[in-house]
Structure 1
Amino acid sequence: MTDRHLLSGVEPDPARDAGHPEPPPRVGFFTDTSVCIGCKACEVACKEWNAIPEDGLSLTGMSYDNTQGLGASTWRHVAFIEQQTPAPDGRTQLPLLGGGSEPPSGAPGLSRPAPPEAGSEGPGAAGGTGELRWLMSSDVCKHCTHAACLDVCPTGSLFRTEFGTVVVQEDICNGCGYCVPACPYGVIEQRPSDGRAFKCTMCYDRLGAGQEPACAKACPTESIQFGPLDELRERAALRVDQLHAAGVDGARLYGHEPDDGVGGDGAFFLLLDEPEVYGLPPNPVVTTRDLPAMWKHAGAAALSLAGGFALSFALPALLRRKSTRR
């Protein structure tokens, strides 16, 4: 599938390639981290709608983050990233989606002078130029165009929906775990209680009823936006231009390119720093990309081995026949 689309120059249609003859427009998430306030409303809405077990209230040592990362019981995860950065130009102003006003004090991405610490040196020290900012981002399964988890699932538990999303059927999953290392983002996890794999379904049941996913519905700042993927990409590009015009040079999109290592993501992001800062791989690649070549080489090796065995049995017989003729 990948090679055919690359040669033709046509963007892949994962739903049609999966066998849906007349699929609706592909939908997805655009998460604008510049307006995320870290309220975790998306996490709560996801858990409530999908009846996902709670994560506990124990202190993790990761700021205000009790969920720590995506997993079998956390399909949306809001990361709190604290940065100590130099900011010679003072505080950075991020325009809101509606245009020109400044976000409220304390919004993520805003830089503010760090309080001086007695005896400290470097950024944040008295007389220094260091500033403290929080980068907040609601992470989720990327619903890749070329999804390795689909390639390795032996039971068909993972399937591509008519909306282009990737869903795990928990009643079919046998707990083999092949999908876990196959995911280039480390999204899928097995639940310790029974070994089955779980991840975001993009609220497949809600999509079928014409509703948006619970996380996007609950987001109070429109940081999580849901809709046709093509429209979201256009909206995201305009948002990046808006931020660049406001002097936020670090704004960039992640996972939106159809010709990247996974064919583009069904859930992509606007980031304010490098992907690694958010715990995202800088250049994700579908982990099964070499499978066709591997099977080809394995087939050639099997044929060579079979030929060697046949020759080992046939050669003595030929030699005996030749000796009897003499």
Structure 2
Amino acid sequence: MGGNSLYGPLDPAPDAGYADPPERVGFFTDTSVCIGCKACEVACKEWNNVPDDGFNLLGMSYDNTGGLTANSWRHVAFVEQPAPATQAAAATTTAQDSGTEPGVPPAATTQFLGMPGKEPPGRRADGPHGDLRWLMMSNVCKHCTHAACLDVCPTGSLFRTEFGTVVVQEDICNGCGYCIPACPYGVIDQRKGDGRAWKCTLCYDRLHGGLTPACAKACPTESIQFGPLAELRERAADRVAALHEAGVPGARLYGNDPNDGVGGDGAFFLLLDEPEVYGLPPDPVVTTRDLPAMWRRAGLAALVMVAAVTGSFLGRRA
């Protein structure tokens, strides 16, 4: 973990060998204002020339892609669940002609976006099974501060950029697949018929041109926010406080804690429920964290074995 106070403890670029890196950038995805439009998925595919995907209906609400894959670097999940009583009560004061009502009090969104009348999308609907809400989340590679995928890549295909992000160089990838089980989030995938690993690059080429990544640029509600990671973390903390004050006690941040198992993420999220509800691990850890100790034990075991064989051999000669 980078310890240079100029960049802060969350910047891994100095440890990757960059003497004078730019400020670390990343994503803050506020799921409370995601409307599930999938504009981010489309923009990602168009800019990065990612093959089409998701034409097989999964029977899972409006989620057609199902998860992050080699052909889906952004995935918008739809989670349908009973609406919490507190949010349902708040929503009943803002009924609309459409028959749907917001699952998060409007004040929580207007205070954040500064858009009068703008409604948050954790939407509530009256139906035969009671009050329901959709939780929508645009998932992506987390660009971990401590990335296990970097540890296991034998070719150097995976590398840390000067922006603190993690990128796969497809022309160097040999398709070994070691990075796939190493990722604690299940992000990386191999493309069928290709064999190489693919994932979000945080639009590395656009960053070099001073441009916003395609997904964040296309997001109509600013659910996906891009910028210096330190600024995003401050903004996210203010957003959570605003939601709590507005009567949404379940709002929480995920992936922002530098003391978690991966040292904090370069792409973190505001969630309205437990991480498991969104298909996220509750306590992700660097899967290679025990490798040094394992190699030491293996080396010690090898020395003991060599000593035993040598002693046996010498004993026979005596």
- Considering the TM-score relative to the shorter chain, is it more than 0.5? yes
Alignment of structure 1 residues 212-251 onto 2, 5 Å: 212-251=212-251
Structure 1 equivalent of residue 300 of structure 2:
300
Q: Which amino acid aligns with 1:21?
A: A
Structure 1 equivalent of residue 96 of structure 2:
none
Q: 1:44 aligns with which of 42, 45, 60?
A: 42
Structure 2 equivalent of residue 127 of structure 1:
none
What is the DSSP-based 3-state SS (H/G/I as helix, E as strand, rest coil) of the residue aligned with 2:201?
A: coil
In structure 2, what is the Cα distance between the partners aligned to 1:100 and 1:163? 32
Are 1:93 and 2:91 matched, yes or no? no
Question: Does 277-286 or 91-100 show the bigger shift?
Answer: 91-100
Superposed CA deviations along residues 145-200 of structure 1, whole A, max 9, x for unmatched, are 00010011111110000000000000111111110011000000001112110000
How many pairs align?
297
What is the DSSP-based 3-state SS (H/G/I as helix, E as strand, rest coil) of the residue aligned with 2:235?
A: helix
In structure 2, what is the Cα distance between the partners aligned to 1:63 and 1:19? 45
The alignment's TM-score, normalised by the length of structure 2, stands at 0.89
Q: Which amino acid aligns with 1:74?
A: S
Structure 1 equivalent of residue 123 of structure 2:
110
Structure-2 change in CA distance of 1:12 and 1:314 (3 Å):
farther
Q: Which amino acid aligns with 1:26?
A: R
In structure 2, what is the Cα distance between the partners aligned to 1:86 and 1:184? 30
- Where in structure 1 are there 5+ consecutive unaligned residues? 117-123, 125-129, 320-326
Q: Is the 8 A contact 1:251 1:273 kept in 2?
A: yes
The alignment's TM-score, normalised by the length of structure 1, stands at 0.87
Larger Rg: 1
Structure 2 equivalent of residue 140 of structure 1:
140
Are 1:79 and 2:83 matched, yes or no? no
Structure 2 equivalent of residue 155 of structure 1:
155
In structure 2, what is the Cα distance between the partners aligned to 1:281 and 1:86? 22
Structure 2 equivalent of residue 169 of structure 1:
169
In structure 1, what is the Cα distance between the partners aligned to 2:206 and 2:32? 27
Alignment of structure 1 residues 273-312 onto 2, 5 Å: 273-312=273-312
Q: Is the 8 A contact 2:78 2:134 kept in 1?
A: yes
Off by >3 Å, runs of 4+ in structure 1: 99-104
Q: CA deviation at 1:312?
A: 2.1
Q: Is the 8 A contact 1:27 1:164 kept in 2?
A: yes
Q: Is the 8 A contact 1:147 1:286 kept in 2?
A: yes
CA RMSD of aligned residues (A): 1.6
Q: Is the 8 A contact 1:32 1:271 kept in 2?
A: yes
Structure-2 change in CA distance of 1:53 and 1:229 (3 Å):
same
Q: Is the 8 A contact 1:108 1:133 kept in 2?
A: no
In structure 2, what is the Cα distance between the partners aligned to 1:158 and 1:132? 42
Q: CA deviation at 1:32?
A: 0.4
Identical columns (%): 71
Structure 1 equivalent of residue 197 of structure 2:
197
In structure 2, what is the Cα distance between the partners aligned to 1:286 and 1:202? 20
Structure 2 equivalent of residue 13 of structure 1:
11
Q: CA deviation at 1:12?
A: 4.4
Structure 2 equivalent of residue 66 of structure 1:
64
Superposed CA deviations along residues 115-162 of structure 1, whole A, max 9, x for unmatched, are 23xxxxxxx3xxxxx411111110000000000100111111100000
Q: Which amino acid aligns with 1:50?
A: N
